[in-house]
A and B are shown apart, each in its own frame.
Chain A
Amino acid sequence: MNHKELIASMAAKLNAPKSVVADLLETTVATCTELLVEEKTIGFQSFGNFEVRKKEERLSVHPSTQIRTLIPPKLVVNFKQSNILKDKLKDLPHHD
């Protein structure tokens, strides 16, 4: 499901025009991004937490060339699903 399909399904559920839903989604995303940039954790009830984690710098060795490279530290967004969502997903049959 891509961005447009998501908007369409949401608009159908909300009985609202797509443009309004698109705007709202955009502001939500912008708000979340801002908060994440400030390294704040966002918790959505029954869905999960978005948090920024710092990956420490590390030394990586290229397997074939043996070149050692110092990978600088970085900040990444991490999502951890809530237990409610996990339980919901338990019912889902797995394919393999």
Chain B
Amino acid sequence: MIKEKISSQEIIDLVSSKSKVSKRVAEDFLKVMISSIEDALLAGEVVKIKNFGTFKLQWNEPRKSVNVHSGEDILLAGYHKVTFTPDVILKDLVNEPFAHLMPVEFDSENPEPIQEKTDVALDPLHIFSDQASEIKDLLSEIQALSPKIEPKEDVPVVSEHDSLPIELVDYQVREKPVVEQTQNEQQSKVHIPELTPEQIKEAEAVVSTPEVVEEFVHEKPVIEDAPVKDIPDYFRKEAIVQQPTESVIYHQEERINYQSRQEEQSQTNDSVSEFDSTEFLKDISPKRKRRVWLTILIIVVLFVGTGAGLYLFSPPVNNFVLTTATNAKAGVLKASENISITDMFNTISGWFTPKAKLTPVVKTIVVPKDTTANDSIDAKEPVDSLQLLFDNPRVYKTFIATETVKPNGRLTIMSKKYYGSKDFWVYIYEANKDRIPNPDKISKGTLIHIPKLDSKLIDVANPRCIKKAKELHDIYVKKAI
């Protein structure tokens, strides 16, 4: 670096020409200025000049040293030293060429973003996978149990939602006419084992999916259509089944009560004693089963709830869901499309709440359904004009000015001049990319076009604009390196 030394005479010339005073006046002034500073310093004072810096006296302690030639110890005398601390303004102006450079942290650069990711995304996934494995275990247990028990035991697999009460009621209704009942019993016995492998499979894949449940609900009537046709009660049930799940819950409760009454009747009835024992077993075992199923259902609903939440609110999780739990994802998709999670929760609450409270439960369903739908839409589409402005590729067509690069000229200086902040130099660079190979070193005499920018983009007061510019800065500076 070749440094040109400017003597005090040259300073005098410059000052006199600038402030239009004679050289003598300027010379006198400078002499007086220096002597004043010296006097003040000699008096032990600190001299502060606005926009320039501060002069201070510093006492350097005497220290021991060794004479290089003789090897003797010598004592260097202490002395006073005038130190100069440049003012922030002067400091920034002088450091302008390197002002765009930021300190780079090496160690923290890599671990930090990863940590953030684990905090935000992976923890819910852990819960998610834990739940998934729990459910898998439960399902495998059920699968292991089901072949040992009578084929009838499999009915509750589907009935966890809707079909169990219908089934049971169907049988019990048919109990009264003895002849029909036997036929039906046989028919259903034939049909149910046919279904069970399918049911288990389906249940394993998406136990909680309402659509699947609906399918089964529809399926049942079709199979039993022929034998049950002569019972008028059935048509009512079919109609109910095709209604939304809420109403089904209501009728389920009715049926459960009805069922218990039927039970008593069947106990008293001696004529059908042969079937009583089986019916009895059937009535008791589902009750026990149902409790187990309720817990499973709760877990499953929670699982679907978290799954849906993850799916809706964190898009990066989609990939994970896609790859690892495609079944669950399908369930979540269907759940979000057809019936909201709140419906699922209401289904459970319907199981627990007594008959009297059923009507209010049905009423409350509509409200949460709407809110959840709105929430998901809001989360998916954050409408932000500024973000759009950031994301859109910038096209530079109009220019405010053209500048020729001076020696030691910087893009940051131009940015400060035209946009008010040196951070926005990146936009000038973007507009002149073809002429600037390296933003750190723009060669002297290069013609720089200053682009016209949207005032929202270069809002000095808006921290987001600065942040965006800094992001771009990082990109370009790293690229240049």
Residues of A within 8 A of B (CB): 1-3, 6, 9-10, 13-14, 21, 23-33, 35-52, 54, 59, 66-79, 81, 85-86, 88-90, 92, 94-96
Query: Interface residues of B: mostly helix, strand, loop or mixed?
Result: mixed
B349 at the interface (CB under 8 A from A): no
Bitwise, B29-50 to A at CB < 8 A (1) or not (0) is 1101111111111101111111
- CB-CB < 8 A to A49: which residues of B? 5
Interface size (B, Cβ < 8 Å)?
Answer: 69
B310 CB to closest chain A CB (Å) equals 33
- CB-CB < 8 A to A3: which residues of B? 48-50
CA gap between A86 and B41 in the complex, in Å: 12
A59 CB to closest chain B CB (Å) equals 8
Residues of B within 8 A of A (CB): 1, 3-8, 11, 14-15, 18-19, 21, 25-26, 28-30, 32-42, 44-53, 55, 57, 59, 78-84, 86, 89-91, 93-98, 101-108, 407-408
Given A24-B29, A89-B80: A31 touches B15 (CB 8 Å cut-off) = yes
CA gap between A79 and B85 in the complex, in Å: 8
- CB-CB < 8 A to B30: which residues of A? 28, 44
Partner of B6, one of A41, A54, A78, A81: A41
Q: Is the CB of B107 within 8 A of A89?
A: no
CA gap between A48 and B53 in the complex, in Å: 15
- CB-CB < 8 A to A86: which residues of B? 79-81
Q: Is the CB of B48 within 8 A of A96?
A: no
- CB-CB < 8 A to A25: which residues of B? 29, 33, 49
- CB-CB < 8 A to B29: which residues of A? 10, 14, 21, 24-25, 28
Q: Is the CB of A81 within 8 A of B50?
A: no
Q: Is the CB of A29 within 8 A of B50?
A: yes
- CB-CB < 8 A to B5: which residues of A? 40-43, 49
Q: Is the CB of A32 within 8 A of B59?
A: no
CA gap between A96 and B62 in the complex, in Å: 11
Q: Is the CB of B32 within 8 A of A43?
A: no
Q: Is the CB of A75 within 8 A of B90?
A: no
Q: Is the CB of B3 within 8 A of A72?
A: no
CA gap between A66 and B84 in the complex, in Å: 32
Given A43-B7, A88-B42, A89-B42: A75 touches B98 (CB 8 Å cut-off) = yes
- CB-CB < 8 A to A52: which residues of B? 3, 94
A sample of 25 inter-chain contacts (CB < 8 A) reads A1-B48, A6-B33, A6-B47, A13-B35, A24-B15, A27-B15, A38-B407, A39-B408, A43-B5, A43-B7, A43-B8, A48-B82, A52-B3, A66-B107, A68-B105, A68-B106, A70-B103, A70-B105, A72-B98, A72-B104, A76-B91, A76-B95, A79-B82, A85-B82, A89-B41
B278 CB to closest chain A CB (Å) equals 74
Partner of B26, one of A24, A30, A68, A70: A24
- Interface centre among B14, B38, B41, B95, by most chain A C-beta atoms within 10 angstroms, is B95
